Structure 1
């Protein structure tokens, strides 16, 4: 099969949502319909009877939340589908934002009871920046939720995108009867069904007199009224507008009951984009180009705790990736090759001999990779648009077992390499300061240090509000500033100096008093503006 045919087969997308909207449940049910798993486990708020397939870290099983992006691949209707199931919790937003750079489209899960929530808005802002095509799945129709028209209005207002329903619910909660597909003119009847994937379907148009006998006279009348309003108010569905990120098709269903999932998956297969071009610092890279290129969007230590492995997640952007072939590591300016690259099925891995644009490849890493690194067949370019965030919360890492200092050192280095936290070292006393965007990350790091590295620690809050990387064209003045601010100067993993400021006012004052020093909000000095 040619590269072009392989590209046309592939669909790579992320599932995003606010916590508890049903994202991981939907992921599991898509795998069930795709034949990738045989049984479905129920996932409920913070209790998991049978842990979701995509949540393989021990802390995820205990807490019932996804804290790391999982990659799953399955075949369905002659397509190769790559799902990236992302963390829903806001404290892990940075991991999710980076994952959105590696996909070509998104399925957004909305809880029909809660509607659009804060984290959903933040995630959609990233999608809107890239005009990423979005399909919306309104979940939990078996519960009493908001009026469907109110939900659609909220989606358009808060998410800044036009919507178009492709299915429409007949009631909800205890009176939920099913959905009518405006796309197929079929009626799908709802049954409480958490493990099987059969469906009860009737092909019927809205003017068919059999509609009353199928759903009852009152609901038949309401359905006709609702659909007439939908057709009058919302633009007709346009595949082109969807692929440009201008229009989001909307589906209604109940993921935990396997209801509405097949219709979503079938439509996704028909309309979702194939692998798309990617911007770099030099030019736009087309997926159909013959030469290989790709970038690292995630690093995960101890995917298998028994083997202490460190995995870099590579998104292929062009050409063909081949096992045991040498590729150019642009940042390090050296050639590397991979004897055992693999594809994913949650925590299960299988060695792959070749990969094509859209595929996500796992690479065993001995410390060569950072997030954003680019591999090519020789061309010097770097893929761009991979977001970086300044930490919002800072705490000092205190070692509780001096006999395990080496394990703690190795553990915190590897875990912060994953990108969910940043490590700053103060030369004075070799103090280690960790910065994150959320409190939960400290719990996860502490748990993983103990259970994966055998190192115990505690956290001490410090009086720091912002970390600013500092540079200057005058090395003497930079050295003098570092000397004067010694107890507020830390160093990142690349030994770049960082000013740990107590407040925004402190940054402004030091900037005004030191005009020759540049203060940066991220470590990407060449592409980020100064404070």
Structure 2
């Protein structure tokens, strides 16, 4: 283990001064640090992920301080008005939450660490998704009081999706009610992780002083700002617990690591315990194989346990060569071949653009280099778009700050300026046709209608929506063909609220926001007859058309036209005009102006005039005949019913079911796995707006739901009258 003892942390203040002068050079001459990782075994690419308000950004702030990347510690909602380094957006500092993932890098001993701090709020889950897609390891931060929460479960699912090894940091052990053993139990039961502590805390809540390392057999106490680390023997009061937890750790790892299991058989365990080096090597093997999760402890806010966590990142998480990376060779169109990439700077370049951001100098494209070397001025190919581009500028990111570099080697994370591409595009040397697997993009769950308040801001409004769509795959924009409204969709109310605020701040456009027009439909419930004559005479040639027939309901959402005229009472050359007239009638119904569905329109008789009849006359007559038959056929309004799947902890079952009933939903099925309950419901779309916020409130942030269209069904009589009244009021206002 790269021990912080051997790193001379007792004299860290002097060391930090040296680190600052070496690593915070923003002149562009920083090649020795940012691209000089000659030994890839000493490089780590990690993400810091957790449920909202678990302390990710606070932990990252301490890591940057102890590694010499920043000179002072600032808090997330700092009273000094500065805020944490990784929260660079004004909105992040104001709200005290992380909205965009931020990248940085630092040095710990002889090791280089690239870090991505990700949001915890479920609305910004795509930021976690694309970070984990390109990282080699992760730190899952847990609250010592709350334990496993809803976003913890989501992040765990994402880590499994991309096979990312992780270590766990149980944070906030200084808080009242902190219980790390309860959290570890939840990790095992709720996330099904083979987890065990590699540390035990010295004290809890207000008495938290430090941690005891179960691998090194040492106790660490942290002084002011956590910099002065006092290394001691295990306190006598903790010896019994220490031995119990160490034996538990060894047995847990031995269950998944054959080498440690063999050592236990060959030696007198538990009377004889393995040497630290043997245990450390076994934990590393199991962690990289994703069969074991080491659990660290501390309090980032109280500057406790951060340096041992950094040692754990180096000791247990993989370097880039230890992660197998597969690309698809698309050279042969008939057969795609899997190719394993090699972390070799001399091999042809392969990289993945995993995140886009609008910078001061144009589009900023975050890139993970998987193979070869990327140099400024190189010609590289965008395999997905089939374009060859020249690399204009290369930078390393330190939150919002940029440090220019000339080249970036394999395993590194950098950013390019002025490159037109999309998130998930693969870039290669010109002679390769490799593509990387794309990231998972969840479907949006909520929509709002939006429009600029004044015509002056229309251009900036369009630019903003276009930019945000490119940056964020979960942010969608469409124009409703029925209402003409611009509809924005996203992962939740906060997600959309942030983008509306950004349109105002970054583009100076005030917006009017409302819920979108629900896609109602109009139909009939019975057969309706019509006998309609259109007659117009105003000098010269007039208009004449007579139609007799009926309309009736049919199954499904389609409409049907039938010409059942016998003889020549309506000549065949007018049939197409009648068909077009019927189509126009169904586009906009007479009740509330929504499309009509499930109707059969039958014409079986009529009359013509030798001079005054025409296609136009029959088209107009069709509209009158349709209105007459529609009014006689018990018209009805249909509303969209959504299939809603709600996942919640069982303890909230009663509250959530009551909420579904209030929204006039019907529960059609329930299923449970362990402590998790899934409800399948059918709920009117009009009643689902605002549900994401309500569900989180009812379940302490632990509930999630998905929603998709199921069918249209008749509205209640009360809603029918309300919709008719609202439509008439709207028409009256338009006539004014």
Q: TM-score range by the shorter chain?
A: 0.7 to 0.9
Matched with 2:296 is 251
Shift of 1:458: 2.7
Equivalent position to 1:95, from 127, 130, 135? 127
Q: CA deviation digits over 1:161-186, x for unaligned, max 9?
A: 11121111133012223211011111
State which of 291, 310, 326 in structure 2 corresponds to 1:265.
Answer: 310
TM-score after normalising by structure 1: 0.81
Give the RMSD, CA atoms, in angstroms: 2.9
Is residue 16–residue 107 contact of structure 1 (8 Å, CA) maintained in 2?
Answer: yes
* Residue of structure 2 aligned with 1:374, choices 404, 422, 426: 426
Q: For the Cα contact (< 8 Å) 2:642–2:711, is it kept in 1?
A: no
141-150 vs 406-415, which deviates more? 141-150
Q: Deviations over 1:371-396 (max 9, x none)?
A: 11110113223211411121110112
Match of 1:434 in 2: 488
CA distance change for structure 1 residues 334 and 404 in 2, over 3 Å: closer, same or farther? same
**Mapped partners of 1:47, 1:458: distance in 2:** 33
- Distance in structure 2 (CA, Å) of the matches to 1:76 and 1:454: 43
TM-score w.r.t. length of structure 2: 0.59
**Of 231, 244, 251, the match for 1:201:** 231
Equivalent residues in 2 for 1:100-139 (5 A)? 100-139=132-171
Give the distance between the partners of 1:416 and 1:93, measured in 2 at CA.
15
Change (3 A) 1:485 1:374: farther
| In structure 2, distance between residues paired with 1:485 and 1:243 | 59
Q: Where in structure 1 are there 5+ consecutive unaligned residues?
A: 213-217, 466-481, 489-499, 511-531
Distance 1:25 1:18 in 2: 13
Partner of 1:175: 207
* Structure 2 Cα separation of the partners of residues 148 and 48 of structure 1: 32
> Is the contact between residue 3 and residue 320 of structure 1 (CA under 8 Å) also seen in structure 2?
no
Residues 385 and 279 of structure 1: is their aligned pair in 2 closer, same or farther, counting only changes over 3 Å? farther
1:396 is aligned, of 449, 455, 472, to: 449
Find the aligned partners of 1:164 and 1:382 in 2 and give their Cα distance: 38
The answer as to whether partners of 2:356 and 2:471 remain within 8 angstroms in 1 is yes
Matching residue within 12, 21, 24 for 2:54: 21
* Residues 8 and 144 of structure 1, relative CA distance in 2, 3 Å threshold: same
Aligned counterpart, 1:462:
516
Which is bigger in relative contact order (C-alpha 8 A, separation at least 6)? 1
User: Who is 1:312 aligned against?
Assistant: 365
Once the two structures are superposed, residues 278-303 of structure 1 have per-residue CA deviations (whole angstroms, 9 ceiling, x without a partner) of: 333442442325011111111112x4
In structure 2, the CA distance between the partners of 1:169 and 1:453, relative to structure 1 (3 Å rule), is: same
Contact 1:42 1:49 in 2 (8 A): no
Mapped contact 2:288–2:317 kept (Cα < 8 A)? yes
Q: Which runs of 5+ in 2 are unaligned?
A: 1-31, 255-278, 330-337, 520-582, 589-593, 596-638, 644-681, 683-707, 713-736
Cα pair distance change 1:454/1:39, threshold 3 Å: same
Alignment length, in residue pairs?
Answer: 465
* Change in 2 beyond 3 A, CA 1:168/1:54: same
Partner SS for 1:424: strand
8 A contact 2:392–2:418 mirrored in 1: no
Q: Which of 305, 319, 330 is the aligned partner of 1:274?
A: 319
Does structure 1 residue 287 correspond to structure 2 residue 339? no
Does structure 2 conserve the Cα–Cα contact (< 8 Å) formed by 1:139 and 1:252? yes
Distance verdict in 2 for CA 1:398–1:308, change over 3 Å: farther
